[in-house]
Amino acid sequence: MMSKKRVSRPNRSGQKRMSASRRNDSASRGLRAASPSFASDGYSNQAAFLGAASDLISSGTFLRSGITRDLELLTTAYRESWLAKKIIDMPAEDMTRAWFTLSASISPEEYAALSRLESRHAVRNEITNAIKWARLYGGSLALMVIRGEENMLDRPLNIDRLTPGCFQGLLVVDRVQGITPSMETETDLDDPDFGLPLYYDVTADLGENSVVRVHHSRVLRFIGRELPYMELQRESFFGASELEHIWDELQKRSATSANIAQLVFQANITTLKMSDFGEIMAIGTANQRRRVLEAMEEQNRLRTSFGLQIMSAEDSAESHPYSFAGLSEVYETIMMDMAGASEIPATRLFGRSPQGMNSTGESDLKNYYEKISQLQETYLRPALERLLPVMEISAFGYYAPDSEIVFEPIATTTPAERAEILTKYSDTVIRLFESGLITKESALTELKSIGKELGAFSRLEALDGCPEWNGQPVPE
């Protein structure tokens, strides 16, 4: 008898029926195909478990510290941490250290009068302080004090109304003293403060302790680290403190330094083994415990004074010295992170000599000085361009329209470097004169210019009456 074979019948759609398990397998494969990719980056290998996001890494996030608004914390960090103070002060002082020269069609007497006015009111020092407090608190103002306009602070400054002798210095106010920008903003597209507050309510001592409203044209505005516009509004149109973005690194460095100092006290730990110490401390009387502690203190005193350790024959003492290997590398890494976060070379921030073979630190200093030059253009130039017209009118009665601020080089040069620069520059000028490409007056002007920067050619004016140089070297 032949065995019957079970033949699957086609369904109505003309396809064979699948078992339940096979249908489930097909569905699961389709679901995996439709699910998001296993990889969290560009490469994925499921068999090798490559491409999946690590929980330890992906769980990390960034939280807003908000220390810019904690003015008391910023003040404490500035006063108590030498590193925080240096990060705030050093760039501000470097921005104004070399100062600037004024290129304008004014006489030497007028230039001297302007310099005397600047020195009399300590303008450079006041601007340096304004930059410091802006870097620390996120913002500061330097109010131009003008004689005769004490009751017109809420009006725009009119240059045409100023008179000689009107400038009386700068009054620096930081956010701790109280600066409240107005909600009304400048709408003039030609105004440098377009989009910024039109007025500032300032708490200052101007004859009486009160809040005065000051028009923005009468103040030099300094901010800390720039922020996006939405954050700028949240900070009342000021920036963030320079300590905010380096706060974590500053805490790491302080904690590391404190822990290394603590290890010094535990560099050599001595342990004393006593057979009945545990029983005495656990079930002994108060008098017994006191006598044991007094004996330990006496033993420690004798060992410290005479280098001896006296104990019972059943007791023993062991010394466990601590190895400081590797701590210097850890501290160096923390220092490098701190220098990178503050954008100040470690050679200047920590006063350390350059590390590595053939390292001079010149490239680090060059990058730092370029950063300072950028800060001068961003923050210092706008303030000086607003201040100089007032000072020029006060010094010699008018404002030179061709006044141009030229910042002096920040990097200092050695006498040998200055001599090399002077030789190359003067040789070039002499060759141009001898070839007839420039006149004697132009050559003298160029030599006077470079001589003023390098401290040479102080008697060059004596050549103005000479018909020609006759190939003779220019006297220094």
For the stretch 33-46, pLDDT in tens is: 444 444 455 677 77
- At residue 352 the predicted structure's pLDDT band, cuts being 50, 70 and 90, is confident
- Please tell me the distance from the alpha carbon of residue 353 to that of residue 360, in angstroms, as a whole number: 8
Question: 322 vs 292, which has greater pLDDT?
Answer: 292
Domain layout of the chain by residue ranges: 67-248, 251-327, 415-465
pLDDT of residue 50: 73
Over range 312-338, report the average pLDDT: 81
pLDDT of residue 458: 62
- At residue 143 the predicted structure's pLDDT band, cuts being 50, 70 and 90, is very high
pLDDT of residue 320: 74
Amino acid letter, residue 341: A
**CB distance 352 to 365 below 8 Å:** no
pLDDT digits (tens, 9 = 90+) for 185-233: 999 999 999 999 999 999 866 555 578 999 999 999 999 999 998 998 8
**CB distance 416 to 423 below 8 Å:** no
Q: What is the pTM of this model?
A: 0.75
- Please tell me the distance from the alpha carbon of residue 156 to that of residue 198, in angstroms, as a whole number: 10
Q: How many Å is the Cα radius of gyration of the chain?
A: 37
Q: Within 13 Å, how many C-alpha atoms sit on residue 248's CB side? A: 9
**CB distance 175 to 241 below 8 Å:** no
pLDDT of residue 455: 67
Residue 289 confidence (pLDDT) above 70 = yes
* Residue 37 main-chain phi, psi, to 5 deg: -65, 145
Residue 437's alpha-carbon distances to 441, 443, 461, 474, in angstroms, are: 12, 10, 21, 18
Measured at the alpha carbon of residue 307, what is the angle toward residues 303 and 309, in degrees to the nearest 5? 45
* Residue 134 main-chain phi, psi, to 5 deg: -65, -40
Highest mean pLDDT among 52-61, 152-161, 317-326, 343-352: 152-161
- Please tell me the distance from the alpha carbon of residue 422 to that of residue 428, in angstroms, as a whole number: 10
Structure tokens at 331: 């501290």
